[in-house]
Chains A and B, each alone.
Chain A
């Protein structure tokens, strides 16, 4: 079982729909990142959060540390939101000598928004 699991793996939506992508993890973390990767493009960091909720434009990210779960929401989706969304966690600083710098990634969610 992967340390970071995302669902769904693929998501198709119509323009304007509200979208939710989920991420569950099994290790202690100090932070969780949501990343966006467009086809043929680079990776852009959307959010880094360790508690609560963050909002940027139409994007909202939430995290529940106790439940080891995070969600990424897109309101009023648009075709330009079509991309792969990747959840990544940073191991906890106190995790038994493990480097806390590196990220462990989910498999990604492929989002396609149709006009």
Chain B
């Protein structure tokens, strides 16, 4: 019974490079969420997938950010041309459906842009 997993756990990249962050949700969970936690800041919503519906991208901070979810399971968050302000912990969560079910969080990916 694995929980939500994310990879890599840590990523250091140079400003201007692209990065990909991966999330494996709990098997059978149809809803998947990406959040960001910047140093000294609270958590903020980025994007949300529910089944085959169009994702809610309303939280993505710029067009450098994109995400996809293949086959209704694994999701990849891509940040193009990284900037120092992108440094944060990126958290993925999944839940059974988008209805009132608990969200289970992954351990996060700590991204540092130098």
Smallest beta-carbon distance A115→chain B, Å? 28
Are A103 and B33 interface neighbours, CB within 8 A? yes
Are A43 and B105 interface neighbours, CB within 8 A? yes
Q: Looking at the complex, which one of A48, A90, A100, A105 makes contact with B43 (CB distance below 8 Å)?
A: A105
Which of B11-19, B44-52, B79-87 lies at the binding interface?
Answer: B44-52
Are B100 and A30 interface neighbours, CB within 8 A? yes
Q: Given A43-B91, A45-B105, A99-B56, are A105 and B100 neighbors across the interface (CB < 8 Å)?
A: no
Q: Given A45-B104, A45-B105, A48-B102, are A101 and B56 neighbors across the interface (CB < 8 Å)?
A: yes
Q: Given A45-B103, A48-B100, are A101 and B43 neighbors across the interface (CB < 8 Å)?
A: no
Smallest beta-carbon distance B84→chain A, Å? 22
Number of A-B contacts (CB under 8 A): 55
Q: Point out which of B45, B101, B103, B106 has the most chain A C-beta atoms below 10 A from its C-beta.
A: B103
Instruction: Report the count of interface residues on A (CB-CB < 8 A).
Output: 23
Given the complex of chains A and B, what is the CA–CA distance between A31 and B97 in angstroms?
14
Q: Given A88-B43, A106-B42, are A99 and B58 neighbors across the interface (CB < 8 Å)?
A: yes
- The secondary structure that dominates the A interface is strand
Q: Looking at the complex, which one of B44, B48, B104 makes contact with A99 (CB distance below 8 Å)?
A: B48
Known A-B contacts: A45-B102, A103-B33, A107-B42. Give 17 more (CB < 8 A).
A30-B100, A33-B103, A42-B106, A42-B107, A44-B105, A90-B100, A99-B48, A99-B58, A100-B98, A101-B56, A102-B33, A102-B48, A102-B56, A102-B59, A103-B43, A105-B42, A105-B44
Give 27 CB contacts A-B under 8 Å: A33-B102, A33-B103, A35-B105, A42-B108, A43-B105, A48-B100, A48-B101, A48-B102, A86-B43, A88-B43, A99-B48, A99-B56, A100-B98, A101-B48, A101-B50, A101-B98, A102-B45, A102-B48, A102-B56, A102-B58, A103-B33, A103-B43, A104-B45, A105-B42, A105-B43, A107-B42, A108-B42
Residues of chain A whose beta carbon lies under 8 Å from any beta carbon of chain B: 30-31, 33, 35, 42-45, 48, 50, 86, 88, 90, 99-108
Shortest 7 CB-CB contacts between residues of A and residues of B: A99-B56, A101-B98, A43-B105, A105-B43, A102-B45, A107-B42, A31-B100
